[in-house]
Amino acid sequence: MLDVGDEAPEFELPNQHGETVRRSDFDGQRLVVYFYPRANTDGCTAEARGFNDSLSEFADRDVGIVGISDDPVDDIADFAVDYDIQFDLLSDEFGEVATLYESYGEKQMFGKTFDGVFRNTYLVGPEGRVEAAYENVSPDDHPEEILADLEPVDISH
């Protein structure tokens, strides 16, 4: 995992619409960069829907969200349509960006060993530095966990 205070690596990846998204597109605001193993699996669907359901709460705190997996663009496009995902899902087909974020490597499942994406998340600050790191997160309540760690929003004005 990257450490709090580390500079968050720049990335340039296609989203579900085939448009290029960069980390630096979010300079000046906070950004949740979450890595998920596979579109349309139970945990990844729960996590994406949780972020989607919480979009206004993140927006109220001026926090952007991107989800990154090693799925091809066509797969994330279908996933985004199926669940009406309203934030950028990014395709990192060869795991290069996930590797930069120390969120890619050897995994084991059903007795097989393979390379894949780890379910990690980073909160990147407005200056491009890691403010928080979450390793091997629970997909079901992860958006709420991050919101709880963010400062409360003053809605009095």
CA angle 90, 56, 45 (to 5 degrees): 45
- Tell me the catalytic residues: 44
Question: How many angstroms separate the CA atoms of 60 and 13, rounded?
Answer: 26
